[in-house]
Amino acid sequence: MPTKKNNGAVPPKRKGPSPFSSAAPKPKKPFKGKPKPDRPPFEAPKRPEPTVVEDTTFAELGLQESTLKALTDLGFEIPTPIQALAIPVLITGGDLIGIAQTGTGKTAAFGLPLIEKMDSSSPTTQALILAPTRELAVQVAKGIHDFAKYAGLRVVPVYGGQPIDRQFRALKSGAHIVVGTPGRVLDHLRRGSLKLDGVKFCVLDEADEMMALGFTEDMEAILAELPEDRQLAFFSATMAPRVLAITNKFLRNPQRVEIIAKQRTLETTNQTYYEVPPGKKQEALARVLDMETPGSTIVFCRTRLETAELSESLQLQGYNAEPIHGDMNQAERERVLRRFRDGLADLLVATDVAARGLDIDNVTHVINYDVPWDVEQYIHRIGRTGRAGRKGDAITLVYHRERRQLANIERMIGSRIEPARMPTVADIASRRRAAFVDSLREALDAKEFDALLPSVAELAEEYDALEVAAAAMHLLWKERHQVEHVETEEESFADFGQPEMGMIRIYVGMGRQDGLRPGDLVGCITNEAGLIGKQIGVIDILDRAAFVEVPATEGQRVVDALTNAKLRNRKVKVRLAEPAFSDPGSAGAPRKGEFKKPRKYDKKR
């Protein structure tokens, strides 16, 4: 760009001292965004005192004999705090705002007094319950049906994903109580298949969740159709301003009941996180599952596609995993939840929306495959475990760039999420051996092996009894774990640990069960590849594989030499290992234009 001529004009004066002057520059003002030294450190908000409710019984709450009989059949003995405080208010006919966390017994809190107000002789719809999700609608409908066992009432759930003609027939046959999602209830109102003229009692369950899902307008449209003399009850985990606004609009002099549980989910849940290298979350998840050996587990993903792909990958690795997401029809979702509740599926891979409203008490672990977007989402996820006073585990897999996001969640919940070391293949093998020994102890205590004692006695005459037992254990271990080792060691990445600077890791297809010792590898490398002993780094011998570190510049030469040589008198598979924690372009990583050999469960990629 051409420079403009000055034409003799006097240049403007420079503001401030000249860079060539000897005057000392003015000190810079401190950055305004920097915290002041006297600012107090962050402190977690003080936890409110738990709600104390005097011990009472369902009979003392004023329930009818038929309802009490149904509760006895179901095994209900003592009401929970939300039930003890809400039932008397609702029986007397007042509007109610109930604030309590999920899993505190809210369904019975509104369901029991609702049943008391129904007239079984009238076929009209007399009660409406709105729920945010299909799963919660079905769950509430089942609970109400069980409570009304001796009341002669018909309960009909209506929700999207189910054939609407089936719902038409159920409503036409007479439904005393309708439980549904806002969208489908509004659809039936517009079609004329549902009338609210005779509704005496209306409940909004998980009102905050419904509003978070965008049902505010639908909720208001439905509430506007109710008769003037109806009774309203709002139940919510939180009382956000938007929830408060709708309660002010539709409730009349409501009584507010708030329950602060003695044990918050966060206090009954052990929270940990694993830092994972880029692109290695599937391998990390498999290792965590193998090490933790959890019971019923929910794995949370962000997207439907990720949910489907991850569940398929886990199934191909031998895990009993089932996906649940918004693209599935209702029949598929109900089948998946039934399998998970019955223990036929150990892992439920779910999106946040699909898992809303799930109420399964026996979930032992929750795994955040992706870091939640905000603290509310995090609390909602880990709230699926550590329920009913049980202990639970919440595990989060994070990339290094997500550490700040996790730190924000820690600050907001006021508790620390502990870091955990990623288990190695050797750790998992040790864990399996310990579990194997425990199963043998159980078999010895059960003493169900009398039929085999003569065979053992016969072998003990020829061999040492200790060797007989060891041989039997070896055969059983080999039968249980041979295929598993092929998939998790021989074709897995080398390790979730990085070689030393300037070194590269080499995979050798022989391990401890083949009698391999460190000296065998050192001798073979020094003799065949010409390296000296001090050039050889860490040697890690597993059950059926081994890894050895050598200088990165010598890696391919060592692989070529060992491929043409014999270890313990036989040829073995040797290749450069894929360093899980290294970045693309580092030693041992595939070069541009090359493709890594896919693992068995990655065939679809």
The pLDDT tens digits of the residues spanning 375-420 come to: 767 887 887 776 655 678 899 999 887 887 888 788 777 788 888 8
Residue 368 falls within a domain, yes or no?
yes
Sequence-distant (6+) residues with CB within 8 A of 549 are 499, 500, 503, 504, 505, 506, 536, 537, 538, 539
Which of these three, 258, 282, 308, is where a domain ends?
258
- What residue has token string 């409501």? 254
143 with 251, same domain? yes
pTM over 0.75: no
460 with 337, same domain? no
410 with 435, same domain? no
212 with 193, same domain? yes
CA distance 333 to 147: 25
Which of these three, 258, 279, 306, is where a domain ends?
258
3-state secondary structure at position 210: helix
283 with 410, same domain? yes
CA distance 11 to 91: 88
Q: The domain that contains 340 carries what CATH number?
A: 3.40.50.300
Res 500: pLDDT? 63
Closest CA to 505 of 400, 437, 425, 566: 425
Write out residues in the chain with pLDDT < 70, as ranges: 1-53, 102-103, 260-267, 353-359, 361, 374, 376, 386-390, 478-501, 578-605
Res 377: pLDDT? 73
Residue 277 falls within a domain, yes or no?
yes
CA distance 454 to 458: 6
Res 51: pLDDT? 57
CA distance 548 to 570: 18
Res 413: pLDDT? 79
336 with 239, same domain? no
Residue 48 falls within a domain, yes or no?
no
Closest CA to 188 of 160, 223, 229: 160
> How do residues 86-104 score in pLDDT, each as one tens digit?
999 999 989 999 988 766 7
Res 395: pLDDT? 92
531 with 548, same domain? yes
Which of these three, 394, 423, 452, is where a domain ends?
423
**Can you read off the two tokens belonging to residue 210?**
């419904």
Residue 54 falls within a domain, yes or no?
no
Res 220: pLDDT? 92
**Can you read off the two tokens belonging to residue 178?**
């309708």
Q: How many domains does the chain have?
A: 4
Contact 124, 198 (CB under 8 A): yes
Residue 5 falls within a domain, yes or no?
no
Q: The domain that contains 531 carries what CATH number?
A: 3.30.70.330
73 with 166, same domain? yes
200 with 305, same domain? no
Strand runs (DSSP E) across 291-391, as ranges?
Answer: 296-301, 321-324, 347-351, 363-368
Q: Quick one: which H or E segment has residue 274?
A: strand 269-275
Residue 406 falls within a domain, yes or no?
yes
Residue 26 falls within a domain, yes or no?
no
Res 4: pLDDT? 44
125 with 239, same domain? yes
323 with 191, same domain? no
Range of the structural domain that residue 484 is part of: 426-489
Phi-psi region for residue 178, left (φ > 0), alpha (ψ -120 to 50) or beta?
beta
400 with 430, same domain? no
